[in-house]
Amino acid sequence: MTTAREIMSPDVQCIGENDTMAQAARLMADLDVGALPICGEDGRLKGMLTDRDIVVKCLAEGGDPRQAHAGSLAEGKPVTIGVDDDIRDALTTMETHQVRRLPVIDGHDLVGMISQADIALSLSATETGEAVRAISEDSAGT
């Protein structure tokens, strides 16, 4: 069994829930990533923010990314995977929620991130192809 811990990227940086979307966009550019976890002042994961969220849910609706806070897009309970969970559980979670990135938690602490590519490198070509198809169906690019 391969666990989330074994394939996750451990160097995850959060954007604070009170930071602006402009700050998030700069951090994404600096880190060369398309998504950031949103963390609250309590250090807990509040949600995920993607570059697409900034464009579609802020800019396209006339919002000012210098004023809008990242936390305003943290909707509902974040979709996560436990650090010791099997990567097939991560894959199932990604398919069910149609997300391409999955925060990895240990208790309540964010400890890493798993991407669709991380899982693809750990599975067979058949499993990878099926996973990409399932995750991409009607996906909004999250």
pTM: 0.81
Instruction: For residue 76, give every residue at least 6 positions away whose Cβ sits within 8 Å of its Cβ, in sequence order, or none.
Output: 47
Reduced to 3 states (helix: H, G, I; strand: E, B; else coil), residue 104 is: strand
CB-CB neighbours of 51 under 10 Å = 17
Looking at residue 121, its pLDDT comes to 82
Higher pLDDT pick, 78 / 137: 78
Per-residue pLDDT, averaged over 114-142, amounts to: 69
**Pairing mode, strands 101-106 and 35-39:** unpaired
Looking at residue 4, its pLDDT comes to 94
The second-level CATH assignment, the architecture, of 4-136 is Roll (3.10)
Looking at residue 138, its pLDDT comes to 54
Looking at residue 95, its pLDDT comes to 87
* For the chain, domain boundaries: 4-136
> Which residues share a beta bridge with 110?
105
Higher pLDDT pick, 132 / 34: 34
Q: pLDDT tens, 56-105?
A: 999 999 999 999 999 998 777 889 999 999 998 998 899 899 888 999 99
**Among 103, 48, 62, 53, CA closest to 80:** 103
